[in-house]
Each structure stands twice: as C-alpha cells, then as structure tokens.
Amino acid sequence: MTGEGVRRSLFWTLLGINLLVVGVAVGMAALMVGRLADAIFASLMKEFHIQADMPHHLFVTALWRVLLLTSLTAGGIGVLLSVILFRQVVRPVRGMMAMAGRVAGGDYGARVAGASSAELESLAESLNRMAGSLARLERLRKDLVANVAHELRTPLTNLRGYLEAISEDVTPASVEIIASLHEETMRLVRLVDALHELSQFDARLPRSRPADVDLDELVRRLLTVRRPEFEGKGIAVRTAVDVKGFVRADPDLLAQAIGNLLDNAAKYTPPGGDVAIEISPIGGEIRVAVSNSGEGIASEDLPFIFERFYRGDKSRSRDSGGAGIGLAIVKEVAGLHGGTVGARSDGGRTTVWLTVPTAP
C-alpha cells in the first residue's frame, strides 16, 4: 500500500469511527429527550383533563423537528471538528512517512518537523535522531573504506615498484632494498592483524577470562617494554597510582588496551615532551588515563577518535599516525569488561582513558 493510500485509510477510518460515535450519541440523546418530553406532555394533559389528541400531535411533530435540526447541527459541528483534529494528526504522520522513505532511499539529511501533540513530537525527535545516527555511520563507513584503501595502497605500491625495478634489473636486490620490502610487508601484516582483531570483537570471539589484575604492576611491565622508545625521543614518563588492590579483567586484553594507549602517546608526543599515566578510582570503577603533551585533538574530532580508522587530519597527520585501529580496540576491550572510554584535549595536553570495574 502506498503512503497516500495509508494516509487516506487512516483518515477515513478515524473519521468513520468518530461519525459512528457521534451519531449513536446524538441519536440516543434525541430519543431519550423525545420520549421524556412526550411523557411529560401527556401527563400534563391528563392531569388538567385536556383533550390531547391534536395538541399532542402538534407537540410531537414540533419536538422531533427541533431534535432533528439540533442533532444535524451537533453532528455537523462534530464532523467539522473531527476533520480538523484528524488532519492535524495525520499531517505529521504523513511527513514522518515521507521522511522515512527518503532515509530508506539514502537521504540521511532528511528531517521531519515537530508535531502538535507530545507523543508525535517525541516520535519526530526519535526519527530525527535515527537519521542523524545513520548519517554519521554512513560518513564513518566512507571514511573507513577510504582509509583502508590508502593503508593498503601505499605499501602495495612500494612493493610493486621495488619488485618491478628488481625484475627489470633497474635496481639491484641489495640488503637495503630487501629490508625496505620486508618493512612494507610487515606493515601490511600489522594492518591485517589489526583488522583480524577487530573482526574477532565484531563476532564476539574474544571471551574474557577474568582474573584479579594488579594495574600498577601491569603498567610498570608495559612501560619497561616501551621505555627505549620513549627515551629515544627524550620523552619523560611519570606514573601516579592512587588505588590499592586489583581489578577484575582479562589480563591479556587489558594489557593490549593499555599498550595501545601508550603506543598512541609515544606516537604523538613531540621530542622532549612528557607522558603521564594515572590510575585512580572513579565510583565503582578504576580509570587508567594516559596523557601527553603536544599538539592537541580538534574538538570536532574528539567524539570520533575511538571509531575505526578515524583520524583527524587537522591535528594528526597520516604520516605520523597509524592505521586508526588502536583506540578502536581500546573501546572494544573496555566495552567487553563493562567499562567506558573517553578523551579530553585542551591546553596543549591530550588525555585518553578507559575504565574497568573493580574486583569484588
């Protein structure tokens, strides 16, 4: 059934039901008034011993004429008010149907105006939020495809160029060339591994194996592995632990998430900058926050940094950034444990964090 057919069906159904109710109500009222007036008139004529045949006939005729005119007037007013009311109800519904059709056709910028009633207004707001969410998802999908294509094209282009040059004896297969080819191959391997990890989260394959984890000890162990990278750039690292005890989490997944935060900080902290790791209680959770000095993240990019392959080109260049998967994995790990993620960037400092529940 077309949208116009649905609209007509709803309008005429509501109008028909209202006409039936109005007709029954007016008819019952007229019948009861007529019988009551007839009985009162007959009683008066009998009480005063008046011959009532002719006056009674005239009275009944006039009474029913008045009742008929009154009923038709009341019914007409009821129908007119019903038409006005039902058009006010059907008009926003029709607009919502048109908006839903446009969204289904791919026009995610379609919006519907507000309605007169609170219920329809709430429905319109929900539809507009849905369209906004779909528009954001479509934008992220396009960014995802473009970024994946770029990440694959760059190393593949380098590999192809070197291999063609070697096969045509333009460039000798030196140790440096082989090392470069190996680096490009490993870049592809890292990208594919990251995509595989995300696909496992999508399929809910990672099954959390919770255990009591000492966050202080875990962060110290991760810093020991990455310390040469920080020292190579002259980055000062400090830690602040304000909790005692353990959190209940999968130690491997949690180590992967915190390691990604540290990698992110090492990547975007300028030489001579500093990185701070803070572990503190927040309600019934423990927050692990990694902050770094340097160029911040634009406010319009902050809500999306945990999306897959999203990178704000204004604040973080493609050359210095990775594939845009690390923070997406942090978000997945936090969500798997019932925690949350967040970020803040102001005053030349960027802080990214995740939370995990405390151990019972």
pLDDT at site 148:
75
pLDDT in tens, 105-116: 888 888 887 666
Question: Does residue 165 have a pLDDT over 60?
Answer: yes
Q: What is the pTM of this model?
A: 0.57
Strand 274-282 relative to strand 236-241, pairing: parallel
Query: Which residues sit opposite 249 in a β-bridge?
Result: 211
Query: Which residues sit opposite 288 in a β-bridge?
Result: 279, 354
Question: Does residue 153 have a pLDDT over 70?
Answer: yes
pLDDT at site 316:
45
For residues 272-298, give the mean pLDDT: 89
For residues 201-211, give the mean pLDDT: 72
Greatest mean pLDDT range, 15-19, 89-93, 123-127, 227-231 = 227-231
For residues 265-273, give the mean pLDDT: 89
The full set of domains in the chain, from first to last, is 3-107 (no CATH), 136-202 (1.10.287.130), 211-357 (3.30.565.10)
pLDDT in tens, 287-322: 999 999 988 888 888 888 888 776 665 444 444 445
